[in-house]
Structure 1
Amino acid sequence: MNEIKIGILTVSDRASAGVYEDLSGQAIISTLKEYISSDWSEVYAVIPDEKELIEETLKDMVDVEECCLVVTTGGTGPAIRDVTPEATEAVCDKMMPGFGELMRQVSLQYVPTAILSRQEAGIRGKALIINLPGKPKSIRECLDAVFPAVPYCIDLLEGPFIECDETVIKPFRPKSK
């Protein structure tokens, strides 16, 4: 059985400088702990909004740490320093536009500014990378929407089998023939 390693990457100038606590990365970790019943470990980092550093960290999490999933938070808005989607695209082999489309659709039910969000998802090697927004409440809303597809996506990438607590979130896997 493959070890399940999940990268959690917070992209924030202020959190990386210690100006405030990284509540967003912690929100991802606590949400995944609720969802996933398999044993897994996190590879966690908080870095500033620097495109090259984001790219290097994503590559390290996938290529060196062998994470099957990397979830980022921050840097997905329209501000000048928001470059997480560009860094994600730069390191991915394939983009998965359905993730961003669904996250924006769900977020629009709560705030009209969701159209300003540029969440992306893509595949690097055998790993799925998902960009989430920066607010903890939005992180949960977006993960609740897209996570049911994540375990099967990782199956298709020949990654580890991720089991979930189906009382919290029910992953979708097609019935085998």
Structure 2
Amino acid sequence: MEQSVTVRIGIVTVSDRASRGEYEDQGGPAIRSWLESALVSAWEPVARVIPDECARVEETLAELADTAGCCLVVTTGGTGPAPRDVTPEATEAVCAKLLPGFGEQMRAVSLRHVPTAILSRQTAGIRASTLILNLPGKPSAIAECLDAVFPAIPYCVDLIGGPYLETDPARVAAFRPAHARRPG
């Protein structure tokens, strides 16, 4: 009998202040809440709160992909132009392939709400069978960005050999081409 494996999703808050306990992490819980509302597949979060240090971000992303077995790692914070904003650089360093369309779509959606969205450097990439996605830090922007890009995420995870992610179509409809079949 085939055992079902619970999908693991990494949620990484990149913030000096939150990692020191000086600021309540709002981004990580916002990601978790959004995913809880959108996914009907069994899944478990693997959360981390780390400082804005490139080596630390790289180490965390690699650990979540390679050791923790996360099929998706979603980061929040560290995507702006400030000197300590290094999340995109760390993501690029650990990924074999970049998927710039994610960042382009998130900026396009965010520009409808705030002109400073052009300062954001969100990106996405693939490390083995893990999709890594950078989001902004503000909870409302996190929801806007996930609403915009998540329809493509389940099929992307399929294509890189990850588990089948099923969404609640009333919340977000995952797009899969007609030839993509549900396993089993």
- TM-score, structure 2 as length reference: 0.95
Match of 1:82 among 80, 85, 89: 85
Aligned to 2:132: 129
- The answer to whether the Cα contact below 8 Å between 1:3 and 1:160 also exists between their aligned partners in 2 is no
Aligned to 2:27: 24
Aligned to 2:18: 15
Shift of 1:140: 0.2
State the alpha-carbon separation in 2 of the partners of residues 39 and 59 from structure 1: 23
- The answer to whether the Cα contact below 8 Å between 1:10 and 1:22 also exists between their aligned partners in 2 is yes
Aligned to 1:37: 40
- The answer to whether the Cα contact below 8 Å between 1:11 and 1:48 also exists between their aligned partners in 2 is yes
Shift of 1:3: 2.8
Match of 1:143 among 139, 142, 146: 146
Unaligned stretches of 5+ in structure 1? none
Tell me which amino acid in the other structure corresponds to 1:11: V
- The answer to whether the Cα contact below 8 Å between 1:9 and 1:72 also exists between their aligned partners in 2 is yes
Tell me which amino acid in the other structure corresponds to 1:136: P
TM-superposition CA deviations, 1:82-127 (whole Å, max 9, x none)? 0000000000000000000000000000001000000010000000
Q: Secondary structure at the match of 1:42?
A: strand
Q: Secondary structure at the match of 1:37?
A: coil
Tell me which amino acid in the other structure corresponds to 1:24: G
Q: 4+ runs of 1 displaced by more than 6 Å? A: none
In the alignment, does 2:21 pair up with 1:5? no
- TM-score, structure 1 as length reference: 0.98
State the alpha-carbon separation in 1 of the partners of residues 46 and 22 from structure 2: 22
- Between the two proteins, what is the percent identity of the paired residues? 63
Unaligned stretches of 5+ in structure 2? none
For this pair of structures, how many residues does the alignment match? 177
State the alpha-carbon separation in 2 of the partners of residues 20 and 145 from structure 1: 28
State the alpha-carbon separation in 2 of the partners of residues 50 and 88 from structure 1: 12
State the alpha-carbon separation in 2 of the partners of residues 105 and 167 from structure 1: 23
Match of 2:100 among 97, 104, 115: 97
Shift of 1:176: 1.7
Q: Secondary structure at the match of 2:47?
A: strand
State the alpha-carbon separation in 1 of the partners of residues 72 and 103 from structure 2: 16
Match of 2:52 among 49, 52, 58: 49
State the alpha-carbon separation in 2 of the partners of residues 2 and 95 from structure 1: 27
